[in-house]
Structure 1
Amino acid sequence: MHQRGFEVVSSYHQSDITLPVRKTQASAGYDIAAADDSIIRPGAVCLVATGIKAYMPADEYLAVHIRSGLSVKNGLSLINGQGIIDSDYYNNAENEGHILIALYNHSQINVTISKGTRIAQGIFQKYLIADHDKEALLVRSGGFGSTGSK
C-alpha cells in the first residue's frame, strides 16, 4: 500500500502533468508545477491549478511554499504565506483534492505563469495534537477552503 505521494486528478489525466519530484538527494521539497497557463494581474490573487493531489497518513500534512526564485524575480507570494494540505483533502467530493496554489502579485505588471513552470514546493510533515484533543467531530465534505471561517 502507498504511504505518501502524488497523483494526477482525473480532470487532468490527458494534460501531460508531471508529478512533483525532489531535484537533489537532500531536497526537502517536491517541486510543484503549473498545470495551465495563468496571468496574475498586479495586486491580484490567482489560483493556479497544479493538476495534482497528494495522499499521506492521517497524522501528516503537505506544507506548500512558493519557490524562492519565482517569488523574488516576479514579486509573487502565497497569499496565505504557507499552504497546508490536510490528509483528508485527498479525494474530497468537491474537487478530488486538486491542489491550487494561491499566488499574489506584488508587482506593477502582469506576471505570466506558463504550464510546466515550477511554482511551489511541497514538504510532507508530521504534526502533533494536544492532550485534551479528541477526534474531530467534522468529516471534510468540501474542497479548497471548505473547513469554514469559524
Structure 2
Amino acid sequence: MNLKIKRLREEAVMPFYATPGAAAMDLSAVCPGGSITLAPMERALIPTGIAIELPDADHVALLFARSSLGMKRGLSLPNGVGVIDSDYRGEIYVALVNLSGEAVEICTGERIAQLAVMPIARVTPVEVETLGETARGEGGFGSTGGIANAPDGEKA
C-alpha cells in the first residue's frame, strides 16, 4: 500500500522505517531557526514539514512518541497518541511536552515521533436499553485479577 506524502518544507525528512521489522515510520522535526528549546513542563507543536493522504476513510494514521524520547530526553506526547484522520491534508505537527527538570533542545532532522497507518473499523452508534452480560460485568480498573481465565491460577 502506498502513502502519499507531500513535502511542505525544504528541510523535511521523508518518513522512513528504521528497520525491516519496524511497525511505524520515524518522523523528523523541522524547527524554525534550526531548533526549538522546551523549558521544563513547556509544551510545543513541532512541525514535520510534511502532509499525507491516507488511502481511504477506512485508514487512520496514529502518532506515537519514540521510546527513546521519554527515556533519554524526558519528552512525551501530552495527548498520548495523535490521531490523523483520512480527510486531513495539512502539515503534521507533533505535540511534545518536556517532563524533565531541565531545558531540552529539539533540532531540525531529529526523529521525534512514529507514524503508523492502520485500518480502522467504522461503526454505527446504536442506543440500547441493556448490554450483554460478561464475567467482568462493570468491573473497572484492576478488576480482572480474580477472573478464572488466567493460566494456572495466575493473577491477571
Mark yes or no: TM-score above 0.5. Answer: yes
Is it true that 1:122 corresponds to 2:121 in the alignment?
no
CA RMSD of aligned residues (A): 1.6
CA distance in 2, matches of 1:98, 1:59: 21
Distance verdict in 2 for CA 1:22–1:5, change over 3 Å: farther
Structure 2: unaligned runs, 5 residues or longer: 127-156
Deviation of 1:4 after TM superposition, in Å, equals: 2.0
Residues 3 and 55 of structure 1 are in contact (CA less than 8 Å); yes or no, is this contact kept in structure 2? no
Q: Which amino acid aligns with 1:121?
A: Q
Q: For 1:76 and 1:26, how far apart are their aligned partners in 2?
A: 25
Alignment partner, residue 26 of structure 1: 21
The number of residue pairs the alignment matches comes to: 122
Q: TM-score scaled to structure 2, two decimals? A: 0.73
Q: 1:101 aligns with which of 88, 94, 98?
A: 94
Provide the C-alpha distance between the structure 1 equivalents of 2:83 and 2:4, rounded to a whole number of angstroms: 15
Q: CA deviation at 1:109?
A: 0.9
Percent same amino acid among aligned pairs? 34
Distance 1:103 1:81 in 2: 10
Q: Tell me which residue corresponds to 1:146.
A: none
Measured against aligned partners, the alpha-carbon deviations of 1:83-120 in whole angstroms (never above 9, x if no partner) come to: 01111111xxxxxx101100011111110001000000
Q: Is the 8 A contact 2:41 2:97 kept in 1?
A: yes
Residue 148 of structure 1 is matched in structure 2 by none
Give TM-score, length-normalised by structure 1: 0.76
> 1:86, 1:117 → 2: CA distance?
25
SS for the counterpart of 1:87 is coil
Amino acid of the structure 2 residue aligned with 1:117: E
Does residue 69 (structure 1) correspond to residue 68 (structure 2)? The answer is yes
TM-superposed CA distance for 1:41, in Å, is 1.3
CA separation of 1:131 and 1:68: change in aligned 2, threshold 3 A: same
> Which position in structure 1 is the counterpart of 2:50?
52
8 Å contact from structure 2 (residues 46, 93) kept in 1 = yes
- DSSP 3-state at the match of 1:72: helix
1:60–1:127: 8 Å Cα contact kept in structure 2? yes
Higher alpha-carbon Rg: 2
Alignment of 1:4-19 (within 5 A): 4-9=3-8, 12=9, 15-19=10-14
| Kept in 2: contact 1:30–1:123 (CA 8 A) | yes
Q: Extract unaligned runs of 5+ from structure 1.
A: 91-96, 134-150
